[in-house]
Each structure stands twice: as C-alpha cells, then as structure tokens.
Amino acid sequence: MRAASFLFGAAVAVASVQAAIVPHRRATTCNGHAELCDRSYGNVTYLGAHDSFAFSEDPFALARDQEVDIPSQLGLGVRLLQAQAHVKDGVLHFCHTSCALFDGGTVEDYLKTVKTFLDANPNEVLTFIFTNPEGASLPQLWDPAFQNSGIAALAYVPPHLPMKQSEWPTLGSLIDSGKRVVVFLDAGADTDRSVPYILPEFEMIWETPFSVTDATFPCSVDRINGPLSTEDHMYMINHSLNKDVLGTGIIISDPKDAPTTNGVPSIFAHAGGCEGFAAGRAPNFVLLDFVNLGQGAKAVDQLNGLA
C-alpha cells in the first residue's frame, strides 16, 4: 500500500516535471515575425523564387533564372519555391524547359536540401508551387520524392478542397501542428486526389500572365480554376521581366534588369494593379527571378505591413 502510493506520488511528480519542462509548444515567432503568428496563411505575402533550381553563377548559362543556390535563397527570405519537373530516365528531375537545356538534379535531392533548412528552422512555413508539364504520376513519381525526403510528414492536408483564401489556418497553428509545408501542383492534383497533401494550385491560387516583356507589369488574371470566385482565391504575381534575345523570339530573363524589377517601386506597382481583383488585398506570392538582386524581402515585409 505504502509502496503503491509512493509509486503513484513519484509518477505524479515525474508527470508534473515533464509538464513544466515540456509545455505545449506554441510558436511566438512565425516566419521571422511575432505579428505573423496570428495571421491566416492566406493573408500573408511570401517571397518566391521562380525556377528556384535553375541557379548558376555563370552569366552564359542563359537558361538560369537564379544566381544563388536553394539554401542561399531561403536565407534571403524566400518562402515560396517554384520549380518545373520533367521525367528523365524514369526519375523526376527539375529541369528548365528540357533536361538537355538545364538539369537541376532529382526532385528528391532538391527536397532533401529543403528538408535540411526546415529541420534547422522549425518556426518557418514554406510553400512549393511545382509545375508538372508532362503530367508525371502523383502516386508513382511525386509522392515517393516527398516521402523519401521526409517532407511528406510536414505537409499540410486541408480539411476540405478548395480552401478559400480566408479559410486557411494561422501560421502559428501550422507551425504548432508540425504541418508547415504547403504543396501545390499546377496540373494533375485536380483530377488525381490519391496524394492528399499535393494540392491543385489553380483552384486556390490565380496567377498573373507569364513571359512578360512589359516592364510596367499590367495586371490581369491569367491562370485560374473554379469553382471559387477570383476574390476567394489567393494570388501570385509573376514578377519577372523577359527579354527577346537579339530579335530571335527566344526570351530570357536578364539579371541586368533585376535590381529595378525586384525593387520596391516595381513590385508595389504590380501589386497595386492587381489588388482590384482581390478585394484590395496584397498578393500572397511575389515570384521573382534573381532573388539575390533588388529588394524582394523588403517589398514583401512592406506588403505584410511590417516595415
């Protein structure tokens, strides 16, 4: 009897010590700012890297859209990574237009690099918008890359689809739940729902036109899917400026323009032109080429009302 109550008392003592040293985890800083913890995921602006895998320091690598690698992009504040997948020898790779032009390696290796960042930065919410131009199988090619990298375990599964912009949980609750990676695919996830965390992009996000060669970035709703209204979608401004190479009709992104294109005035002008489609809201995603040039992070902080 005495032994039993001693054991009971010891168990209570151990439990209360554990409760004291392992409190219910509650993030106080989210994506670098306390103010963002109580904001809905759908009410935050994120800095995005277009063709994040297509980085090279070589100025003659014309198919590059970035100069710095993935860890450096994340270090600069990028929280949306965009990339384009192609199948090479039966394996999913990130490649620009074709793997012969620019091969960024396997999707699995790319995701492992990102996982290292996520493990070291537990209070960060990260989004992927991947394109699937060849319609690669979700269960056979995409899911294994996410599972093997460890990122599938961190991926958020919404309670229903499509989610309105206003329905997303807060950054704080995504972080507290450990499900702090949001994965969108442009094609395939609308018809194949067998991988629940791979979400159909255009049912929830609309995009401005791509391959823009007009430096004033006139806004229009380019790619979108129903059934939600435009205003109930989140939206991405595709803010990269392309140039025709010597009148050949081949367009490339030129880092010489990036300091201006990625400057606060240019990003704000583009965002301002779009807000009418979004009940006055700022863009959710500001997708840039050459994120190391210009003031992308500063513009995003200002759009979030933080600076």
Ligand X SMILES: *[C@@H]1O[C@H](CO)[C@@H](O)[C@H](O)[C@H]1NC(C)=O
Which residue from 98, 211, 229, 260 is in contact with ligand X, where contact means CB under 6 A? 211
Question: What gap in Å lies between CA 45 and CA 153, rounded to an integer?
Answer: 24
Number of residues that bind ligand X (CB under 6 A): 17
Residues 59 to 88: which contact ligand X by CB under 6 A? Answer: 82
149 vs 240 by CB, closer to ligand X: 240
If one asks whether residue 97 binds ligand X (CB under 6 A), the answer comes out as: no
Nearest distance, CB of residue 174 and ligand X, angstroms: 15
- C-beta atoms surrounding 128 within 10 Å: 22
Q: What is the DSSP string of 167-214?
A: GSPBHHHHHHHT--EEEEESSSTTT--SSTTEEEGGGTEEE--SSB--
Which residue from 106, 170, 240, 266 is in contact with ligand X, where contact means CB under 6 A? 240
Is residue 96 part of the annotated active site? The answer reads: yes
Q: Which stretch binds ligand X (CB under 6 A): 8-16, 39-47, 141-149, 176-184?
A: 39-47
If one asks whether residue 292 binds ligand X (CB under 6 A), the answer comes out as: no
If one asks whether residue 50 binds ligand X (CB under 6 A), the answer comes out as: yes
Nearest distance, CB of residue 133 and ligand X, angstroms: 9
Nearest distance, CB of residue 284 and ligand X, angstroms: 5
Question: What gap in Å lies between CA 240 and CA 213, rounded to an integer?
Answer: 9
If one asks whether residue 43 binds ligand X (CB under 6 A), the answer comes out as: yes
Residues 101 to 130: which contact ligand X by CB under 6 A? Answer: 129
Question: In this structure, what DSSP letter does residue 155 have?
Answer: B
Is residue 86 part of the annotated active site? The answer reads: no
If one asks whether residue 281 binds ligand X (CB under 6 A), the answer comes out as: yes
Residues 6+ apart with CB under 8 A from 31: 44, 46, 79, 123, 124, 125, 171
Q: Can you name the residues that pair with 81 across neighbouring β-strands?
A: 49, 128
If one asks whether residue 284 binds ligand X (CB under 6 A), the answer comes out as: yes
Q: What are phi and psi of 46, to 5 degrees?
A: -120, 145
195 vs 282 by CB, closer to ligand X: 282
If one asks whether residue 242 binds ligand X (CB under 6 A), the answer comes out as: yes
Do 83 and 53 meet the contact criterion of CB atoms below 8 Å apart?
Answer: yes
Do 128 and 81 meet the contact criterion of CB atoms below 8 Å apart?
Answer: yes
Q: Which residue is nearest to ligand X (CB)?
A: 210
Q: Which of 50, 86, 93, 270 is catalytic?
A: 50
Nearest distance, CB of residue 17 and ligand X, angstroms: 42
Q: What does the block give as tokens for 255? A: 């880092």
Question: What gap in Å lies between CA 55 and CA 138, rounded to an integer?
Answer: 26
Q: Which of 86, 96, 239, 270 is catalytic?
A: 96
Q: What is the DSSP string of 3-72?
A: HHHHHHHHHHHHHHHHHHHSPPP--S-BTTBGGGTTSBGGG--EEEETTTT-B-S-TT-TT--BSS-HHH
207 vs 257 by CB, closer to ligand X: 207
b or e along 181-217 (b: 16 or more beta carbons within 10 Å of the residue's beta carbon)?
Answer: bbbbbbbbbbeeeebebbbbbbbbbbbbeeebeeeeb
31 vs 242 by CB, closer to ligand X: 242
Q: Which stretch binds ligand X (CB under 6 A): 29-37, 42-50, 115-123, 257-265?
A: 42-50
If one asks whether residue 238 binds ligand X (CB under 6 A), the answer comes out as: yes
| Active site members | 50, 96
Residues forming the site for ligand X (CB under 6 A) = 43-45, 50, 82, 129, 207, 210-212, 238, 240, 242, 281-282, 284, 287
